């Protein structure tokens, strides 16, 4: 009796995982739509600037800021999509499990919770880098100390991205060694 109850609870828990998967995909679509609308608005401003031949520094800053902002939203949408696919594959089933099996790109192929966390962390770091860049565009510097802080911030971000890349390369080499030993 207890075994049957536990099995039923586990089935319900598995169904509950559908909620974050569905809402994650819907959220990602909303972000993509809004980011695309922002990009279309920016393109309208560019066409107006071209038409009036008004290429001021503020126009350049607005164009770059809007593009970076759109990239930021697109990256956040990608984080949510990776999360949704990962949850689906880990807790529900493989995507296209039956005869319609879909070949997923490697970034969406998730086999463990650690792998999902690693992939999410890398994309989140890139979102933070892009967000930092967007905010750095509008900062007004009043002294050398602020410029030094800005340079140190960029250096810290660069080291973080380098270490993430180095970690991914190390893991690939480790997996290649495992695969060669199996053969």
Looking at residue 168, its pLDDT comes to 67
Highest mean pLDDT among 69-73, 119-123, 155-159: 69-73
Alpha carbon distance 164, 122 (integer Å): 7
Structure tokens, 139: 């900062």
In which residue are the tokens 């984080």 written? 79
Structure tokens, 64: 């770059």
Looking at residue 95, its pLDDT comes to 60
What mean pLDDT is predicted for residues 28-38? 93
Q: What is the 3-state secondary structure (H, E, C) of 9-68?
A: HHHHHHHHCHHHHHHHHHHHHHHHHHHHHHHHHHHHHHHHHHHHCCCCHHHHHHHHHHHH
Alpha carbon distance 111, 90 (integer Å): 7
Looking at residue 28, its pLDDT comes to 95
- Name the pLDDT band for 97 (thresholds 50, 70, 90): low
Alpha carbon distance 69, 86 (integer Å): 26
**pTM for the structure as a whole:** 0.69
Give the CA distances from residue 142 to residues 22, 27, 60, 70, 152, in Å, rounded to whole numbers and listed in that order.
47, 40, 21, 29, 16
Q: By C-alpha distance, which of 71, 107, 103 is closest to 86? A: 107
Q: CA triplet 41, 44, 49: central angle to 5 degrees?
A: 130
Alpha carbon distance 18, 31 (integer Å): 20
Domain ranges of the chain: 2-138
What mean pLDDT is predicted for residues 96-113? 66
Looking at residue 36, its pLDDT comes to 93
- Name the pLDDT band for 175 (thresholds 50, 70, 90): low
What mean pLDDT is predicted for residues 30-36? 94
Using an 8 Å Cβ cutoff, are 77 and 112 in contact?
Answer: no
Alpha carbon distance 130, 148 (integer Å): 20
Alpha carbon distance 22, 42 (integer Å): 30
């Amino acid at each position: 009796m207890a075994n049957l109850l536990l099995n039923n609870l586990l089935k319900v828990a598995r169904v509950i995982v559908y909620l974050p998967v569905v809402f994650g995909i819907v959220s990602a679509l909303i972000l993509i739509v809004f980011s695309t609308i922002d990009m279309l608005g920016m393109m309208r401003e560019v066409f107006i600037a071209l038409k009036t031949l008004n290429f001021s520094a503020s126009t350049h800053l607005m164009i770059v800021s809007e593009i970076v902002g759109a990239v930021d939203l697109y990256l956040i949408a990608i984080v949510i999509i990776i999360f949704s696919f990962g949850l689906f594959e880990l807790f529900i089933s493989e995507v296209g499990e039956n005869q319609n099996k879909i070949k997923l790109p490697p970034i969406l192929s998730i086999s463990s919770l650690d792998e999902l966390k690693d992939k999410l962390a890398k994309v989140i770091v890139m979102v933070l880098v892009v967000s930092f860049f967007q905010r750095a565009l509008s900062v007004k510097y009043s002294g050398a100390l602020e410029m030094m802080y800005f340079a140190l911030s960029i250096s810290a971000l660069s080291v973080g991205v380098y270490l993430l890349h180095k970690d991914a390369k190390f893991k690939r080499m480790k997996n290649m060694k495992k695969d060669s030993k199996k053969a």
